[in-house]
Amino acid sequence: MDKLAERLRRARDRRKDHRNHTVVPPVDVRPYDPATHAAPPPPAPTAPTEPGEAVETTLGDSPVVIRQKLHSAEPMTVDDALYEMEMVGHDFFLFVDVETSRPSVAYRRRGWTYGVVALDTSCDCAEVAVEKTA
């Protein structure tokens, strides 16, 4: 029992900041699986389910935080999208184009010019995934 108490005292002493006389909190480590002696995989990011809900997840062990947010979108014209973009004060605005029914982004360029990028959703993503793995 004395040996264990001494080891615990030494471990606590190593965590002390001797300049400020404070104890540094221990590092948070993920639990491991005793059967495989490996750390469990990081939890998969969960997507938000309600409009306006934001979900933040960290990317593995890094300090990178990914924030996902779900917005409801109504089809609108490019002119309406530019108006909404100016109203919220952002440099871009994601919308569904009423003329083409494609997801699009209106963005501010230099000066008073704007740009629009539209996504082509006519391709079959399953076929593309098969081609990339082959």
Task: Flag whether pLDDT at 30 surpasses 70.
Answer: no
Under the banding of pLDDT at 50, 70 and 90, the label for residue 118 is: very high
- Extract the tokens encoding 126: 């399953």
Same domain, 81 and 58: no
- Burial of 116 (C-beta count, 10 Å sphere; 0-12/13-18/19+): middle
Distance spanning both ends of the chain, measured CA to CA: 61
pLDDT score for 99: 92
Same domain, 80 and 115: yes
Kindly report the average pLDDT of the chain as a whole number: 78
Same domain, 9 and 23: yes
- Extract the tokens encoding 114: 């704007």
The string of pLDDT tens digits covering residues 66-112 is 888 888 888 999 999 999 998 988 899 999 999 998 999 999 998 88
| Owning domain of residue 125 | 73-133
Same domain, 114 and 80: yes
pLDDT more than 70, % of the chain: 69
Residue 112 and residue 119: Cα distance in Å, rounded?
A: 24
